[in-house]
Chain A
Amino acid sequence: MSLSKDRISAIARKEFFHIIYDFRTLFIIFLMPVVQLIIFGYALNLEIQRVDMAVVDLARSTQSRKLVGQFSGSKFFRPFFYQGRLDDLEDLFKSREAKVAMVIPFDFERKLQNETSVQVQFLVDASDANAAILIRNYCNQVIMDYNENRGVKLPLPFDLRSTILFNPELKSSHFFVPGVIAMILIMISALLTSITISREKETGTMEQILVSPVRPLEIISGKVIPYIVLAFLDAAVILLVGLVVFKVPFKGSLFLLTGLTVLYILTALSLGLLISTQARTQQVAMMMALLITLLPTVMLSGLVFPIASMPKLLQYLTYLIPARYFLLIVRGIMLKGSVFSQLLGPCFFLALLTLILLGVSVKRFNMNLER
C-alpha cells in the first residue's frame, strides 16, 4: 500500500478545521508575533542610557563643576547633586534612585594643579553585573574626554577609521526582527504538532484513526501539513511587519529564504513529533514543548546573547538548538545578502538535525503503535 494523496488530504482537512474552529488560539498565534516584534524592536536595547548618577562634589570648584558638566553633556548619564550624608549614600542604591555615585574630593582643585594625578571615586551599584561593566566603561570614557579637553592627552600617531557594514546605524530592530521569525516558527511548529498528536492519544481518537485504513506516515503528513501552512503564513506576517514598520532591509534572495525556511519548519515539526511520541497527555506535551523551545531558543540560540561569550560546555549545547542555525541563515540572507554557498555550514547542521529527529521519532512512533 503506497501513500495516498486522498487520505493525507482528508486528514489535513480535518486538522485544518480543528484549527479554524479554535478561533481564540488562531488569534493568539497571529497576534503574538506582532506583539513580540514590537517589544523586541523597540524595547530590547542592551545599551544603557541616561544612567542616574549621584554627584557628591566636596570641592565645589570651577574644575569640579566642569567635570560634572562633562558627565551631563554625555548621553549616558543624568547627574544630580546629592546633598545628604556620605554614609547614607547606600540608600540611593537601595531605593534605586541612582546606579552610580561620583565623589569628588575636597582637595580636587589643589591636587589637579600640583600633582600628577588625582583620584575621583566612583561607587557603582553592581547588582546587575552587566550594567555595572557598561557604567564603568562609560565613566572611563567621560573621564578620558575630560582629560583630553584639558589638553593633557597624547595625540595618536595614526588615524583610525571605522567602517560598519550591513547595519551602519546599529539598529537593534534589524537584528531582532529576523530573530523573532526564528522564535515564532519553532514555537508554532513544535508546540502545535506536539499537542495535536497527544490530544488524539488522550481522547482516544488516535486508536480510532489507527484502525481505519490510514497508514501512520499518512497520519503524520496529514497532521503536519496544515501547521506548515500556518507557520508559513505567520512568518510572512512577521516579515511584512518587519519590512514595513521597522524598515528592515531585505538584501538577499527571497527564494533562498523560502527554501531554507521550509527546512527549518521541518526541523521544528520533527521536534514536535518527537515530543508527542514521548508525552501521553496534552499537558505534558505542552510543558515539554515549552521547556524545550521557549527559553532555550531565547537564551541559547544567539537571539539575544552572543554564543561566543558563553562557557565552553554551554556552547556545545547550543549545537542542538535548531534556531541557532536558522538565525545565521535568516539574518545572513536578509541583512547581508548571503548566498547559499556561504550558508552551507548551518544548512548542513540543520538538515542533519532534522534527519536525526525525524528518524528517532518515526521509530518511536512505530514502537508506540505496536505496544
Chain B
Amino acid sequence: MQRIFSMMVKEFKQVFRNRPMLSIIFIAPILQLFILAFAITTEVLHIKLLVCDLDRSQVSKEVVRGFGNTDRFDLLGFSTDLKEIKEKMKAWEAQMALVIPPGFSRDLGRGQNPEIQVVVDGVDGNTAGVALGYARGILGEFGTNYVKNRPNYTQPVGIHLVNMEERMWYNPDLSSQQFMVPGIVVVLLTILPMMLSALSLVKEKEIGTLEQLMVTPLTRYQLLLGKLIPFLILSYVELAVVMTVAIVFFKIPMNGSYLLLAGLAFLYLFTTLGLGIFISTITSSQQQAMFTAWFFMVFMILMGGFFIPIENMPPILQKLTYLNPMRYFIYIIRDIFQKDSSLFSLLKDAVPMTAFGLLIFSLSVLKFQKRVG
C-alpha cells in the first residue's frame, strides 16, 4: 500500500510539474466544448442563391421574395446569363440558382404551366438535398396561394386533410447541444486516459526508467496501480469540470442520476485505461504510441455514433460498431442526461461495455506483465 502510494505521488508530481501539459489537460477540453458544441449542426442555413429572373414581372418578383424572407437562403445576386450559374458554382460563389423563364407571368395567367428551374450544386449531397426540399416548399406555397387568389377560384368541396400534430420529447427546443455535449464528454474521457497512460508508460520505457522501476521492490501490479490510479483520479476531475461547464454554462439539463453516471464512467475507464496500457506494450517510443492511440481514437470517434448516427450506416458497418466500446458509453451517457434512463434499461449497453472493459484491461495487464517479465 505504502509503495503504491509513493508511486502515485511520483506520478502526480510528474503531471503537475508539467505546466503546459496541465493546461492542455484542463483548459483545452473546455475550449473545445465551447467551440464544438456550437459547430455541430446539420441544419442547412444561408444557402447562397443566385436568381435568374428572365421574366421581371410583378409575379416573378413575388416568387423571389419568398426566397428572400427566410434565413435558409441568402440572396446574393441577379444574373441574366445562364452560363454564369455553372461558373459561379465553380468559384463557390453560389450553391443554388433559381431560373424563372421569360414570359412566366403571362403563361401562368393563361394556365399554360410554365417551367421554373432550380439548379443546385450537388457536391455536398446532404446540403443539396435539403436545399431542394426548401425550394420545393417555398415554390409550393407560392403556387397554392396563386391558385387560391385567382378571381374564379372556388374552394373544392369535401376537402378532408390529414394534419400533423407533433410532440418533441426530451428536447422540445430542438437544441443540438443537448445531444452533442454529453458526446463530447465521452470523447474527452476516451482521449485523455488513453493518451496519458500510454504516453507515460512508454516514456518510462523510452528513457529507460521502466527498468529502474522494475528492479525496485515494487511488484508489477503495484507499478500499474500506482500509474493508473492518478490517471483515474485526473479523469474524474476532468469529468467533473466538463460536466459543470456543460450544466452551468450550456444549461444542458441533466435529468438522470449522477451516481449512475459516475459508476458507469468507472467501468468505461477500464476500457480506455486498458487500451492505454495495451498501446504502451506494442510500441517503443512516444511517437509510435501517439500514432497508435490516434488510430484507435479516430476509429472509435467515427464509428461510435458521436456525430455520424449509427443507424444511417450500411448494415455491415453497423455490426462493426458493436466492437467499439465507445458506442455503448455514448448511448449510456446521452440516455442518462436526456431520458433519465435507469440502470435496468441501460443494461443492454452496460453489460457489453463492462465485458469489453474487463477483457481489454486484463489482456493488457497480462501483456504488460509478459513484456516486462
* A contact residues vs B (CB 8 Å cutoff): 22, 24-25, 28-29, 31-32, 35-36, 39-40, 42-51, 67, 90-91, 93-96, 111-133, 136-137, 139-140, 143, 146-147, 150, 152, 154-172, 174-175, 187, 191, 195, 199, 278-284, 286-288, 290-291, 294-296, 299-300, 304-306, 308-311, 314, 317, 328, 331-332, 335-339, 342-343, 345-346
- CB-based contact A157/B203 at 8 Å: no
Return the contact of B123 from the options A44, A166, A287 (Cβ within 8 A).
Answer: A166
Which 6 A-B pairs have CB atoms at the shortest separation, nearest pair first? A170-B125, A342-B91, A167-B122, A156-B143, A126-B168, A308-B46
Q: Counting CB contacts under 8 A, is B307 at the interface?
A: yes
- CB-based contact B161/A117 at 8 Å: yes
- Knowing A159-B113, A305-B40 touch, does A284 contact B179 (C-beta < 8 A)? no
- CB-based contact A127/B338 at 8 Å: yes
| Complex contacts, A127 vs chain B, CB 8 Å | 169-171, 178-179, 334-335, 338-339
- CB-based contact B43/A309 at 8 Å: yes
Residue of A nearest to B337 (CB): A127
| Complex contacts, A169 vs chain B, CB 8 Å | 122
- CB-based contact A157/B125 at 8 Å: no
Q: Chain B CB within 10 Å — which of A40, A43, A115, A118 has the most?
A: A43
- CB-based contact A25/B162 at 8 Å: no
CB distance from B64 to the nearest CB of A (A): 14
| 8 further contact pairs, Cβ within 8 A, besides A127-B338, A152-B161, A336-B123 | A25-B291, A28-B292, A123-B169, A154-B147, A159-B115, A288-B20, A291-B24, A304-B307
CB distance from B75 to the nearest CB of A (A): 14
| Complex contacts, A342 vs chain B, CB 8 Å | 87, 90-92
- CB-based contact A165/B117 at 8 Å: no
Return the contact of B162 from the options A120, A137, A155, A195 (Cβ within 8 A).
Answer: A120
- A-facing residues in B152-167 (Cβ within 8 Å): 156, 159-167
| Complex contacts, B114 vs chain A, CB 8 Å | 158-159
- CB-based contact A332/B92 at 8 Å: yes
C-alpha gap A140/B134 in the complex (Å): 13
Return the contact of B167 from the options A67, A124, A171 (Cβ within 8 A).
Answer: A124
Q: Is the interface of A mostly helix, strand, loop or mixed?
A: helix
C-alpha gap A136/B174 in the complex (Å): 11
- Knowing A39-B302, A43-B302, A46-B312 touch, does A156 contact B162 (C-beta < 8 A)? no
- Knowing A39-B302, A147-B162, A172-B126 touch, does A299 contact B40 (C-beta < 8 A)? yes
Return the contact of A130 from the options B46, B169, B176 (Cβ within 8 A).
Answer: B176
CB distance from A22 to the nearest CB of B (A): 6
Return the contact of A295 from the options B32, B115, B116, B128 (Cβ within 8 A).
Answer: B32
Residue of A nearest to B340 (CB): A94
- Knowing A43-B317, A166-B122, A291-B28 touch, does A131 contact B309 (C-beta < 8 A)? yes
Residue of A nearest to B143 (CB): A156
Return the contact of B313 from the options A42, A299, A332, A338 (Cβ within 8 A).
Answer: A42
C-alpha gap A43/B304 in the complex (Å): 11
Stretch at the interface among B235-243, B264-272, B279-287, B351-359: B279-287
- CB-based contact A24/B45 at 8 Å: no
- CB-based contact A47/B312 at 8 Å: yes
| Complex contacts, A44 vs chain B, CB 8 Å | 302, 308
- Knowing A113-B160, A117-B163, A337-B90 touch, does A25 contact B32 (C-beta < 8 A)? no
Return the contact of B125 from the options A143, A155, A171 (Cβ within 8 A).
Answer: A171
C-alpha gap A133/B90 in the complex (Å): 30
| Complex contacts, B12 vs chain A, CB 8 Å | none
C-alpha gap A169/B123 in the complex (Å): 10
Return the contact of A117 from the options B160, B174, B339 (Cβ within 8 A).
Answer: B160
Q: Counting CB contacts under 8 A, is B129 at the interface?
A: yes
C-alpha gap A122/B168 in the complex (Å): 8
| Complex contacts, B122 vs chain A, CB 8 Å | 164-170
- CB-based contact A305/B165 at 8 Å: no
| Complex contacts, A310 vs chain B, CB 8 Å | 38-39, 41
Return the contact of A42 from the options B39, B43, B120, B314 (Cβ within 8 A).
Answer: B314
